[in-house]
Chains A and B, each alone.
Chain A
Amino acid sequence: MDRENIGILIVDDELSVRDSLTKWFEADGYRVDSAESAAAAMVKLREQAWDVILLDIKMPGMDGIEFNRHIKQVDKDIIVIIMTAYASVDTAVEALKDGVFDYVVKPIDPDDFTHIIRNALEKRRLSQENVQLRQKIEDLTTPDEIIGTSPKLKRVMEMIASVAGTDATVMIRGESGSGKELVARAIHSNSPRRYAPIISINCGAITDTLLESELFGHEKGAFTGAISQRKGKLERGDKGTVFFDEIGNISLKMQMDLLRVIETKQFCRVGSDKPINVDFRIISATNKNLEEAITHGEFREDLYFRLNVFTIDIPPIRERQEDIPLLANYFLRNCANSMAKNVNGISEDAMKMLLKYEWPGNVRELRNVVERAVVLAPSDIIQPGDLSFPFAYRQKEPGGDTLDEAEKVHIARILDRVEWNISQAANILGIDRTTLYSKIKKFQLSKKN
């Protein structure tokens, strides 16, 4: 920061002190002003921002110790240095307890004074830099890819918001590609642990032996190839979050080891018997039916209950069809920007195809399809011919998978067929009018449906 942008306010009832310090700091190039009392200083404090305040203890009216408390109420980050001609251990302790940066006895050696001011400004700079970096971290870690306005997704967002601030262990369930890691990152970045890292471990992608070394780290020479000491992911996740993806894929032995770590928050590196204490939050994810795995003896029940304190179920994209246009357009904008391609829309017919597709690969598949289309599109609008699906194009069965969804679609079709003649529709459906009205209300059907 340029010195002219650093403001120093001198508060002392002695004119000679104010004048001499003003000259001293002016020569250093700082923006300097002075006040003869706490009341006058309070006016200047409200008018302008100050980085450092040099404060005399003994002043008529409010003394320096008391005024320091007022300063901290206006801006707790202002550096306050107390000056006194009468050194007293009690007042020095009181001042330092109240957050005063330093306590100097007049007269002070010029070199000491220069160092105190330099250290004070360095502290101020570091605390401002800290605030800026935290803001940058928040900007970088704020999840911006959880897109959608459907009630089911809103429910997921509400659950993220309610669990993030706690330290509860979270299990995320959802089909492959539904965005489980995004949800884990959203929980982490909204939690008090957000300034520490989130460490992801894909349990399905590595063998048991490797997983052990990955999780716990190893000492030099612990096994062939261990040419140096290495910290494991649990150690690197200290104070942060550890995300176990595909937790349903780990072996029974690793389940036991993991359970022990979760219970004791302690482990040893491979090849060492020295325990390491860690503090991390666990978020796990799976697309497996763990309850079923427990009944088959493939997953430990005690670990299941440890991991499954709070569950978030991510709906597959076919259950939140209204989010498809939002997601598709979001992926299109991102991809077109990063590739500098002039593609800015999806035609109505292409969107209809996206809406009718079953999306077995969920949001990940939708993103891939849109990105591929952006690359291939010869014009600025994506057309049906630009879309290619990794799986054979399978239209979604009308009505979806559940009985409720099938019933909704069937009632809507009958109502449309009889142009919403309730008596006629009830007759065809074999139910009475009251039941039909309650079904219409339940499924939120209307003529436009």
Chain B
Amino acid sequence: MTPSKLYIIPIELTDVSVIDPLFTILAQCFRLNTALYRKPIALDRAYDPKRNQYYSSEILAQIINDPPPDAFRVLGVVGLDIYIPVLTYLYGEAQFKGLGALTSTFRLNPGFYGNPEDPHLLQDRLVKEAVHEVGHTYGLIHCSHPACVMSSSTYIEDVDEKTASFCKSCHERLAAFPLRQESPL
């Protein structure tokens, strides 16, 4: 079976509907069929009690382990606070030119910053970060264009400043990436 689908795996989300817009938008951006994929993740293996956070690389490793045969890309959307050992937190992580990507809604939620809950804003932010992380799996690097979805975001303001679209240059690079012809595995 030719890998052709982008699977989205929800993990520990308070409201799963937050991922609804991803199916359409990711399908348009990456010209792939998208589908929901439920998979149990052993979160205790990723949990660090000292930090009260979850090691994102461990979750990512579980996501990409034994994917569906037609999976071209796999995106995990996790509702937990994630980290890598050197950094205090992350919005997401991806395998560069690889199969999997992970994004967390934990710090995209306006409530985290003491602001009123805003499901639309959360969805907007999630779309940007999901496109961004999946973009890395296509070999796209951080872009210096502040409005481009591939620009680096270390603060929530950075996420809000950028759009969900690729700049011309990133768009061209994405178009040049082999689509569905070969498995990245």
Q: Which of A20, A109, A111 contacts B84 (CB 8 A)?
A: A20
Residue from A16, A17, A107 whose CB has the most chain B CB atoms within 10 Å: A107
On whether the beta carbons of A108 and B85 are closer than 8 Å, the reply is no
Determine the distance from Cα of A108 to Cα of B84 in the docked complex, in whole angstroms. Answer: 10
Q: Which residues of A contact B13 (CB under 8 A)?
A: none
Determine the distance from Cα of A244 to Cα of B152 in the docked complex, in whole angstroms. Answer: 57
Q: Does B57 contact A (CB under 8 A)?
A: yes
Q: Does B94 contact A (CB under 8 A)?
A: yes
Known A27-B136, A110-B90; contact A16-B84, beta-carbon cutoff 8 A: yes
Q: Which of B51, B93, B95, B141 contacts A29 (CB 8 A)?
A: B141
Q: Which of A16, A27, A83, A107 contacts B94 (CB 8 A)?
A: A27
On whether the beta carbons of A107 and B57 are closer than 8 Å, the reply is no
Q: Does A223 contact B (CB under 8 A)?
A: no
On whether the beta carbons of B86 and A107 are closer than 8 Å, the reply is yes
Least CB distance, B143 to chain A, in whole angstroms: 9
On whether the beta carbons of A111 and B85 are closer than 8 Å, the reply is no
Q: Which of B136-171 contact A (CB under 8 A)?
A: 136, 141-142, 152, 154-155
On whether the beta carbons of A24 and B87 are closer than 8 Å, the reply is yes
Q: Which of A1-39 contact B (CB under 8 A)?
A: 3, 14, 16-17, 19-21, 23-24, 26-29
- Interface on chain B toward A: helix, strand, loop, or mixed SS? loop
Least CB distance, B149 to chain A, in whole angstroms: 13
Determine the distance from Cα of A16 to Cα of B136 in the docked complex, in whole angstroms. Answer: 20
Q: Which of A21, A27, A109, A111 contacts B141 (CB 8 A)?
A: A27
Q: Which residues of B contact A21 (CB under 8 A)?
A: 84, 86
Q: Which residues of A contact B95 (CB under 8 A)?
A: 23
On whether the beta carbons of B85 and A17 are closer than 8 Å, the reply is yes
On whether the beta carbons of A20 and B86 are closer than 8 Å, the reply is yes
Interface size on B, residues (CB 8 A): 21
Q: Does A114 contact B (CB under 8 A)?
A: yes
Q: Does B83 contact A (CB under 8 A)?
A: yes
Q: Which of A3, A26, A107 contacts B83 (CB 8 A)?
A: A107
On whether the beta carbons of B93 and A16 are closer than 8 Å, the reply is no
Determine the distance from Cα of A309 to Cα of B57 in the docked complex, in whole angstroms. Answer: 72
On whether the beta carbons of A107 and B88 are closer than 8 Å, the reply is yes
Q: Does A253 contact B (CB under 8 A)?
A: no
Determine the distance from Cα of A109 to Cα of B90 in the docked complex, in whole angstroms. Answer: 9
Q: Which of A26, A28, A107, A114 contacts B85 (CB 8 A)?
A: A107
Q: Which residues of B contact A109 (CB under 8 A)?
A: 87-88, 154
Least CB distance, B50 to chain A, in whole angstroms: 11
On whether the beta carbons of A3 and B90 are closer than 8 Å, the reply is no
Q: Which residues of A contact B86 (CB under 8 A)?
A: 17, 20-21, 24, 83, 106-108, 113
Determine the distance from Cα of A16 to Cα of B51 in the docked complex, in whole angstroms. Answer: 15
On whether the beta carbons of B85 and A20 are closer than 8 Å, the reply is yes
On whether the beta carbons of A14 and B85 are closer than 8 Å, the reply is yes
Q: Which residues of B contact A14 (CB under 8 A)?
A: 85
Residue from B57, B84, B93, B155 whose CB has the most chain A CB atoms within 10 Å: B84
Q: Which of A3, A19, A27, A107 contacts B87 (CB 8 A)?
A: A107
Residue on B nearest A115 in the bound complex, by CB: B154
Residue on B nearest A14 in the bound complex, by CB: B85
Residue on A nearest B84 in the bound complex, by CB: A20
Residue on B nearest A107 in the bound complex, by CB: B88
Determine the distance from Cα of A394 to Cα of B155 in the docked complex, in whole angstroms. Answer: 83
On whether the beta carbons of B89 and A110 are closer than 8 Å, the reply is yes
On whether the beta carbons of A28 and B84 are closer than 8 Å, the reply is no
Known A108-B87, A110-B88; contact A23-B96, beta-carbon cutoff 8 A: yes
Q: Does B55 contact A (CB under 8 A)?
A: yes
Least CB distance, B183 to chain A, in whole angstroms: 20
Determine the distance from Cα of A113 to Cα of B88 in the docked complex, in whole angstroms. Answer: 10
Q: Which residues of A contact B87 (CB under 8 A)?
A: 20, 24, 107-110, 113
Determine the distance from Cα of A228 to Cα of B87 in the docked complex, in whole angstroms. Answer: 56
On whether the beta carbons of B96 and A27 are closer than 8 Å, the reply is yes
Residue on A nearest B141 in the bound complex, by CB: A29
Determine the distance from Cα of A111 to Cα of B95 in the docked complex, in whole angstroms. Answer: 21
Q: Which residues of A contact B55 (CB under 8 A)?
A: 16
User: Can you list 10 contacts pairing A with B, beta carbon distance less than 8 Å?
Assistant: A16-B55, A23-B84, A23-B96, A24-B86, A26-B96, A27-B136, A27-B142, A29-B142, A108-B88, A113-B154
Q: A19-B57, A20-B87 are in contact. List 10 more A-B contacts (CB 8 A).
A: A17-B85, A20-B85, A23-B94, A26-B96, A27-B142, A107-B86, A107-B87, A108-B87, A109-B87, A113-B154
> Which 4 pairs show the lowest CB-CB distances between chains A and B?
A29-B141, A20-B84, A111-B154, A110-B154
Interface residues of B (CB under 8 A from A): 51, 55, 57, 83-90, 93-96, 136, 141-142, 152, 154-155
